[in-house]
């Protein structure tokens, strides 16, 4: 056996990357210029304030990216320093709120997925004179928690919107695919669909393993030959469901909740019937802006009620329009 030569290894280690980089792709890849649409205008001349946005986002969730983008754009416009933190576990989310109070922020925007756990800490915030708004989840408890308004879309309402649309188009046997068993929001959506289309079936898949999502959905479509539409509760999952439909040789159509650029394209192409967009960008943007408004002149938007940001149905008729915004990552 020839002795391992460090010199040879170093040579290989130096040359190979150089050769690799020369193998460039003629299409695709990182765009050469990334224009920042948000950076066009000037920031407001009001004093700089700190706003904390604390959500229950689990790491790696596309949806919250869009919320965050909206918040960041509002922050840039309003001369706000945005402090974004999240934790899916309610106890820890409460601790993040406490930390924001400790940092003496000028406003808190929070999602109320598990309001009981956050109640006490939010009281401390309002007692300290920090204005609070809520977004995305907890519409019915928002006022109790001390928030002066709520920006969001009701998951059950969204589900019912889908259900209504499907019923109108004569679908009788939808399959609602939930990627995280026990997730309140997802369960509410499917419950909404089922309220309007009683023949709806729920399928649980492992959202942490896309291959498993694909094979489980395929299995379901093979087993339920009379399923006529399959619904994904997240853009990436819907895209995978398209594959499952092909694999199973099923004639089922595909519908969705939430949006991303690829999904918008698929709607334009007609592969996906429609999606329900709760316009998460608006939720982020409005929360930050509402606090800025409150600081500017004591304004409280909403009149004590929630401000709805959805549901907004995106189908073939308006997908082309939406597509270009989706490609910017704001829809």
Which positions lie near other proteins, rule CB under 8 A? 20-21, 23-30, 58-62, 64-65, 181, 201-204, 206-212, 214-216, 218-220, 222-224, 236, 239-240, 243, 247-249, 262, 329
Beta bridge partners, 174, equal: 229
- Rounding to the nearest 10 degrees, give the CA dihedral for residues 117, 288, 148, 47: 120
With beta carbons less than 8 A apart as the criterion, state whether 279 and 312 touch. Answer: yes
Task: Give CA angle at 284 (45, 299), nearest 5°.
Answer: 55
Alpha-carbon distance values, 274 to 152, 277, 316 (Å): 20, 10, 7
CB of 159 to other proteins, least distance (A): 17
CB of 255 to other proteins, least distance (A): 19
Between 64 and 148, CB nearer to other proteins: 64
Task: Give CA angle at 303 (297, 308), nearest 5°.
Answer: 110
How crowded is residue 270: how many other Cβ atoms within 10 Å of its Cβ? 10
Between 164 and 222, CB nearer to other proteins: 222
CB of 9 to other proteins, least distance (A): 13
Which candidate, 178, 172, 122, 133, places its Cα nearest to that of 155? Answer: 178
Give DSSP secondary structure letters for 302-318: TTTSEEE---EEEETTT
CB of 102 to other proteins, least distance (A): 25
Helix 90-102 with 115-127: angle, nearest 10 deg = 10
CB of 21 to other proteins, least distance (A): 6
Between 133 and 267, CB nearer to other proteins: 267
Between 208 and 316, CB nearer to other proteins: 208
Spatial CB neighbours of 253, under 8 Å, sequence gap ≥ 6: 171, 228, 229, 230, 273
Between 91 and 249, CB nearer to other proteins: 249
CB of 28 to other proteins, least distance (A): 4
Spatial CB neighbours of 19, under 8 Å, sequence gap ≥ 6: none
Between 64 and 171, CB nearer to other proteins: 64
Between 114 and 220, CB nearer to other proteins: 220
CB of 164 to other proteins, least distance (A): 24
Give DSSP secondary structure letters for 172-232: --EEEEESSTT-HHHHHHHHHHHHH-TT-EEEE--TT-HHHHHHHHHHHHHH-TT--EEEE
CB of 168 to other proteins, least distance (A): 26
What tokens were used for 260? 């991303």
How crowded is residue 215: how many other Cβ atoms within 10 Å of its Cβ? 15
Between 122 and 248, CB nearer to other proteins: 248
């Amino acid at each position: 056996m020839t002795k391992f030569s460090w010199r040879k290894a170093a040579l290989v280690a130096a040359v190979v990357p150089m050769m690799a980089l020369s193998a460039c792709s003629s299409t695709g890849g990182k765009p050469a210029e990334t224009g920042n649409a948000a950076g066009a205008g000037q920031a407001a001349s009001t004093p700089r304030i700190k706003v904390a946005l604390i959500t229950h986002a689990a790491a790696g969730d596309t949806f919250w990216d869009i919320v965050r983008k909206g918040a960041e754009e509002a922050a840039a416009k309003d001369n706000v320093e945005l402090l974004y933190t999240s934790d899916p576990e309610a106890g820890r989310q409460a601790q993040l709120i406490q930390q924001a109070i400790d940092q003496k922020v000028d406003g808190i925007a929070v999602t109320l997925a598990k309001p009981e756990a956050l109640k006490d800490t939010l009281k401390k915030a309002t007692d300290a004179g920090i204005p609070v708004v809520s977004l995305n989840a907890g519409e019915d408890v928002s006022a109790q928690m001390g928030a002066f308004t709520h920006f969001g879309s009701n998951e059950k309402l969204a589900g019912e919107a889908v259900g209504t649309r499907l019923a109108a188009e004569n679908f009788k046997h939808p399959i609602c695919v939930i990627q995280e068993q026990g997730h309140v929001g997802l369960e509410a959506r499917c419950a909404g669909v089922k309220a309007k289309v009683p023949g709806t079936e729920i399928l649980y898949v492992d959202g942490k393993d896309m291959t498993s999502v694909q094979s489980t959905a395929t299995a379901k479509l093979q087993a339920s030959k009379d399923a006529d539409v399959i619904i994904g509760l997240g853009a990436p999952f819907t895209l995978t469901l398209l594959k499952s439909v092909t694999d199973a040789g099923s004639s089922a159509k595909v519908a969705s909740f939430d949006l991303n650029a690829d999904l918008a394209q698929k709607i334009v192409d007609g592969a996906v019937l429609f999606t329900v967009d709760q316009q998460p960008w608006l939720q982020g943007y409005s929360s930050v802006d509402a606090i800025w408004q409150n600081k500017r002149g004591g304004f409280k938007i909403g009149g004590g009620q929630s401000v709805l940001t959805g549901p907004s149905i995106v189908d073939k008729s308006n997908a082309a329009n939406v597509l270009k915004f989706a490609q910017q990552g704001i829809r």
